[in-house]
Structure 1
């Protein structure tokens, strides 16, 4: 039997169909795995000093495992470059620099920083130390190709400090934008020696050797971490920064050769 649709019945049928569409979509999401608004993941962008490249990859994996609703995206560079990005309003959530001076200069753009680790300088040489470098004064040797970080880079500033305190004059063949670039020059044989962080030698995995600098001649680098005021995920960013000072993150940092805050 054919039922004639009156205007009222036609309107009711249309309303029923409209209501069924979103219900069908919800059923598809439940079975297909697409998350609803409440289940969306939070992606945090973290600007971090180049010397944290390896350890933060390990730390990031550990954090994501413990916080399944959050993913981390790291951007590594020299601290001075990171500061420039922050000043330009780069969309990021947290910042970790290799010195307190750089972080202090960004007080209008960050939350309250906390130091999460410390580091020391070493002399980096080619594998096997073919130039027989034993101490800082050896960097003055005639014909020795030494590479340093640029003075505006934290490790470059620290390097200048330790050399000046010993009354040494070293003319580098190049000044690099971050500590990993210094290490790379030594690893590739483009320089005989450079000054890097102790943790960089650990990360070099045998491609370069480290000559310790005595404590009374050395400089200690501090790594402060802070949230960024432009973050759209303030609570999640604060949780990550707090986690960096916790036992799990501190063990990861220590295993990579970083010192306690």
Structure 2
């Protein structure tokens, strides 16, 4: 009997433990949802579409989105003091610039475009057609406070002294664009200056475009707050807001013009083709970027000749494996793919030189020395790599190509192979980039080549029709924000220079001669 009682007690205890375990398993779901909730500060004029998008996101991913609305200026003040939150949805570019000035935001994803208009009631009973009409004695005008709301700050900048006259005559001045639109909709005033996208959100209102305001197109954007503790979650929601087939449908239904967000993917895969010279500087940065964004980055490192040939073989950029971004070893390998990558941003440069074993036993210092009888020389392949292409051009121009080639015992796609073979004793001299040689300074010596072409500039380009164009642009911004990593790897920084049109990049004639 005692054994039976003990058995029953054990069974009861087991069921109790299972029940407790189930409750514990269930509890984190709620706790996790709370932990993963996103706090979003949103400009009042974007409330309707953002509210609808947040509800869809919550239904799709189970993530609570806590929205705080208000005039843009007040929102910035709030999160600047609180130093909490995940996203800031701003109505205009100037508000993002203000937040950047105080280092409150990092990544910025454009969502929609909008511009100021005169708003009137349907039928335009006061026949308001111009800014001058707003100054008539029979027109009651409503404006927002330019210190609080983006719409009036943008309009004030566009109208100059005329704005001062309008503000002096305004019958109503309120903090948010939606409050002003509501007054107009109720008939309390005759006209207001609103965003074009705000007008269709209120019954009985129509827009009057005027030339003074029509050109002031602003991006409404989602900016990741600098103090978010969950950047990947914040960026995922920002991508959802910007994606044409997700948040874009709600924005369009509320009268907004989309800014061209990336195609939606819960975890996008960015494909990057990179010349091998860039690897020491970017490999760690690419992992950091992927972790912060909550995405994957598939990187192909190789000689740029091979990378360009691979892209040509794919035919066109409709191939799903075509790279979203291309980071070349030198500008000369951008023109072959200029159609897909129309703009190039220079990031770094590095010297080209001759590397020898420590102590330089053969006295090799110049291109001419590479022709010394019996010297074992390694070069990069001219068809496969930028370095090989540039090396061949320099040797040909100096009349040394044939004499040096007699000593070449190996040709490889990337210079790191040459460094490895030098360390293994298979080579006595090789032509490499300075950044290849720098990590091995204890074992080898580097002599810069004295030639106008002995310098490589590394450009980064984003594919014009990439489904991950915004993501690739953010990768470029991330790399530019980490200048120190490149300089630590031995590169000279060029990232502050303006972008180049790829079609305008001129390749020196001596490089083009076969």
TM-score of the alignment, normalized to the shorter chain, above 0.5: yes
Measured after TM superposition, the shift of residue 90 of structure 1 is: 5.4
RCO higher in structure (CA 8 A, sep ≥6): 1
Spell out, residue by residue over 1:23-52, the C-alpha distance to the aligned partner (whole angstroms, 9 max, x if none). 22234577xxx4545983232121111111
Cα distance in 1 between the residues matched to 2:23 and 2:107: 44
Partner of 2:355: none
Given the superposition, is the C-alpha separation of residues 247 and 167 from structure 1 closer, same or farther in structure 2, using an over 3 Å criterion? closer
Q: Which residue of 1 aligns with 2:129?
A: 134
Partners of 2:129 and 2:65 in 1: how far apart?
A: 41
Secondary structure of 1:247's counterpart equals coil
User: 2:227 aligns to what?
Assistant: 230
Aligned to 1:161, which of 150, 157, 162?
157
**Deviation (angstroms), 1:89:** 1.4
Q: Helix, strand or coil: the match of 2:200?
A: helix
| Correspondence for 1:62 | 56
Gaps of 5+ in 1: 4-8
- Deviation of 1:216 after TM superposition, in Å, equals 6.8
How much does 1:255 deviate? 2.8
1:145-184 to structure 2, matched below 5 A, reads 145-152=140-147, 153-164=149-160, 169-170=165-166, 171-184=169-182
Corresponding position: 1:186 with 2:178? no
Q: In structure 1, what is the Cα distance between the partners aligned to 2:18 and 2:50?
A: 43
Matched-pair contact (CA < 8 Å) for 1:165–1:217 = no
Deviations along 1:189-217, one digit per CA (max 9) or x if unpaired, are 222111001111110032x2322224775
Contact map agreement 1:114 1:225 (CA 8 A) in 2:
yes
What runs of 5+ residues in structure 2 fail to find an aligned partner?
A: 260-514
Instruction: Tell whether 2:90 aligns with 1:97.
Output: yes
SS in 2 for 1:185: helix
1:40 to 23, 32, 43: 32
Q: Spell out, residue by residue over 1:90-147, the C-alpha distance to the aligned partner (whole angstroms, 9 max, x if none).
A: 5322111112222222232222212221102221223432212122211011132111
Q: Secondary structure at the match of 2:132?
A: helix
> SS of the residue aligned with 2:208?
strand
Cα distance change on mapping 1:89 and 1:39 into 2, 3 Å: closer
Count of matched residue pairs:
250
Which has more radius of gyration? 2
- Partners of 1:39 and 1:167 lie apart in 2 by 51
State how far apart, in whole Å, the 2-side matches of 1:185 and 1:56 are: 22
